[in-house]
Structures are given as structure tokens and as C-alpha cells.
Amino acid sequence: MTRIHDLVEPFGGKNILELHRFGNATLTRGAFGHISLALRSDDQKYELVAIKQIQGTLNNLQTDAFYEIKTLCALQSTDKNEPHPNIVKLLAVYAKDSSSWSLAFEYCPVDLSLSLEWRRRRRKHPRLLHINIIRLIARDIWNALSFCHAKGIVHRDIKPGNLLVSKDGYVRLCDFGLARSCAGDSKGLCTLFYRAPESLLGDTQNCRPALDLFAAGLIVAELCLGRTLWEGTNEMEQLGFIFRSLGTPHECHWPGALQLVETFHYGTLPFAPTSPQLWRTMVPRVMESSDLEDFLALTVALDPDKRISAKRAMEHPWLCHEAVVNRTSLLCELVPDELDAPIFLSSPDEATSELGEVPVRQVLGLAKSRRAFLSQFDTWSDKC
């Protein structure tokens, strides 16, 4: 059994400067603790970082927290010993005191869910993302999934809120608390709007990569529509949306589906037999590209065995199409000006007080601005 001591040893936090004694650096609070801004120092500069505090002693961490640390450590470098461009960068893991642990990540100004909601609210008639921006985002998502799945890791909670937009304009996958190996346990489920039908039906094999592929395909559809494709209020309603769109399960196009239906934990499914809708009726923008329509059909397939793998998806014509867009354009489309901030702040040589008065003020000001900005979206966030 892997010991957590072995995992965190290479990720010490000696150069992490937390700022709570100077003011309120908290960004948000969650089930395991809170996330705050801090500084990471070296001889030349201060780097803005995000600290995720996890409650629990070293040997008594909650299961999801343990798996997050374990998975993040395993994903921090590629075969070329370089950081993967589409996985959030873990910079340090350290004990703040005897009752909690802290994870230091690179600071990313926004996640995709906040970005999409900001775009919806900032105009009376919001402009949809250009198809080339969507393609670039999708390429980043599938590149991350291809890397994870090649290492035998299934994320199991793919959603816009777990896709960060970095300062260099890359989309990075984060929050691996539900991630498991392909042979791991089946506890924990993806967020409702992005759950695959087999998971909703109670399939016990919910550590398969196909779960991630279905959710990622729905995110592409959401980017094209400007809204979530299916928004069920419970599992039964979500299944209804899926079956009315993709067709009701049948052995002829989903072998093994009837066995799942027969053991469904809510009893009989109250859905009349329906045929699949065309993707162009669900997502009209696919009429701009037959390759996009094919891509969605292959990723958001009812039968998990028919979903295209992440590796094969990277070779699909729609993703391979040369995107006439750069990372700066992606940042301009996704990051609100209110949340934009330099990653590297004043150098220690320029410091005017302990830890550097100027960067401390900057960080506390950014944290305050971010809390105010996020408070606008509390009602919407409750759905995610």
C-alpha cells in the first residue's frame, strides 16, 4: 500500500508564504477546507499560487483527499520529465499544523464554468464562442484525458468547474478527488449534468474511461450552445433527457443495456421507446461542420463501448483541424478583466517589509476582488 509520506516527500512547502496574518487571502470554502492565495518565493521573484487546505492528520486523511494527492503526484510529469500542459501544476504538499494539510497549485484566474456564466451574464445577448476557440478548448481537454487514461487513471468528475484556464492560455484539468485507477473502487459519481447513462442506471463498473469521454463530449456541446445540454433535477429526469435525445436503451444498439435496466435501483424506467435525434437538432452549430457532428456522435454515444477513446479522439479530423487562433485569443474570450493578475510579482529585493509589502497588498487586493466577483454567481454555482 502506498504511504502518503512517500507521495509528498518531493513536494515540500518551505518556500510557500501564506498571508492570513496580514489579511483575508481566502478565495472560497469547500467540503474539505478552504482555498486561498499565497506567494511562492525564490531568489528572483514571488509567484502567485493557490493553496487548498485539507482537514485531517497525515495518516487520517479522507479517502477523496488521499486519492487527490496520490493522483496529482503521479500526473506531475510526462515521459519527458516535463509538466503536462493540460494538468494543473502541483507545486507543494506540506503540513500547516497537526490537523491539516495544504496543497499549493499554480494560480489559474478562472475555471470554465465561471467563464461561461460570466459570458452569459455580461451581455443581454451573449456572443457564442468561435468554433476555433471551442476546438482549442476541446483539444486541451482530450489531451489531458489521453494522458490520464494512458496512466490508468479515470477522473470521474469531468465538468466545466474542474477545467481551469491558466495564465498562459491553456485549459488544465484539476480536482482529482474522485479519480481512481481503472481497477479501483466504484465509490463516487460525476456531477449530475455530465453523468453517463450507464452510471445513472447503476453500473458498478463506473471506473471506465468512457465516463470521462461522455462528460467531455457534453462540455463541447455546451460550448457550442452556450448552455448545458441536459439539466435534470434528479437522476430519473436526467435519464429522460438523455434517452429522448440519444434513444432509449436496446440490446441491438447497446448490448447489456437491458440487464442494467432490469437492475435499475429506482425500478421500471417510465420512458416510451424513442429513436435517436440528429445532433443538428440538439446542437444546431454542428451544421457548420460535419466533422463536429461526427465527433459529438462518437463521444456522447449511448453505448459506452462505442465511445471513441481519448487517444483516438486526438486523431479525429475535427480536433486535428488547424485552428486559426492562439492562446492569447482564448484568454481574452474566457478570463474577465477583474480576475486578470500577473503571476510573478515584486522580487524580494524590492520588498519594503517582511515578505514584501507590495506583493502582499497585491495578493490581498486580488483575493478581495475575486471574492466580490464570485459572490455574483453564488446562486448559479449551487446547481453545479
Q: Which of 85-89, 288-292, 335-339 comes out lowest in average pLDDT?
A: 335-339
The C-alpha atoms of residue 111 and residue 316 are separated, in whole angstroms, by: 26
Class of domain 4-107+341-371: alpha beta
DSSP state of 287: G
Q: What is the pLDDT of residues 301-347, one digit of tens each?
A: 999 999 999 999 999 999 998 767 889 999 999 998 878 776 666 55
Residue among 90, 72, 53 nearest 4 (CA): 72
What pLDDT was estimated at residue 220?
Answer: 98
Q: Which residues pair with residue 339 across a beta bridge? A: none
The C-alpha atoms of residue 302 and residue 198 are separated, in whole angstroms, by: 8
In the numeric block, which cell numbers belong to residue 118?
460570466
State percent of the chain over pLDDT 70: 75
DSSP state of 284: G
In the chain, the N- to C-terminal Cα span, in Å, equals 34
What pLDDT was estimated at residue 46?
Answer: 81
DSSP-derived 3-state class of residue 327: helix
The C-alpha atoms of residue 12 and residue 135 are separated, in whole angstroms, by: 37
Q: How many CA atoms lie within 13 A of 42 on its CB side?
A: 6
The C-alpha atoms of residue 92 and residue 14 are separated, in whole angstroms, by: 9
What pLDDT was estimated at residue 153?
Answer: 92
Q: How far is CA 197 from CA 182, 194, 232, 240, 269, in A?
A: 18, 9, 12, 10, 13
What integer best gives the mean pLDDT of the chain? 81
Does residue 254 have a pLDDT over 90? no
Q: What is the pLDDT of residues 165-175, one digit of tens each?
A: 999 999 999 98
The C-alpha atoms of residue 129 and residue 322 are separated, in whole angstroms, by: 17
Q: How confident is the model at residue 218 (pLDDT cuts 50, 70, 90)?
A: very high
What pLDDT was estimated at residue 379?
Answer: 44
Report the topology of domain 110-329.
Transferase(Phosphotransferase); domain 1 (1.10.510)
The C-alpha atoms of residue 363 and residue 369 are separated, in whole angstroms, by: 10
Q: Where are the alpha helices (DSSP H) in the chain?
A: 4-8, 63-74, 112-122, 131-150, 197-200, 210-225, 235-246, 257-262, 279-282, 290-299, 310-313, 317-320, 327-334, 357-375, 378-381
The C-alpha atoms of residue 144 and residue 72 are separated, in whole angstroms, by: 13
Residue among 31, 99, 88, 94 nearest 61 (CA): 99
Active site residues: 157
Residue among 240, 239, 242 nearest 229 (CA): 242
- CB of 376 within 8 A of CB of 339? no
Does residue 11 have a pLDDT over 90? no
Task: Label residue 298 left, alpha or beta by phi (over 0 means left) and psi (-120 to 50 means alpha).
Answer: alpha
- Domain residue ranges of the chain, discontinuous segments joined by +: 4-107+341-371, 110-329
Residue among 233, 231, 220 nearest 300 (CA): 220
- CB of 255 within 8 A of CB of 303? yes
Q: Which of 150-164, 242-256, 354-368 comes out lowest in average pLDDT?
A: 354-368
Same fold, 4-107+341-371 and 110-329: no
Q: How far is CA 193 from CA 88, 158, 212, 239, 270, in A?
A: 23, 10, 13, 10, 20
The C-alpha atoms of residue 218 and residue 194 are separated, in whole angstroms, by: 7
Q: How far is CA 135 from CA 114, 171, 260, 329, in A?
A: 19, 12, 34, 13
Query: Going by C-beta distance under 8 Å and a sequence separation of 6 or more, which residues neighbour residue 189?
Result: 156, 178, 195, 199, 206
User: Count H helices, E strands: the chain?
Assistant: 15, 12
Whole-model pTM: value is 0.87
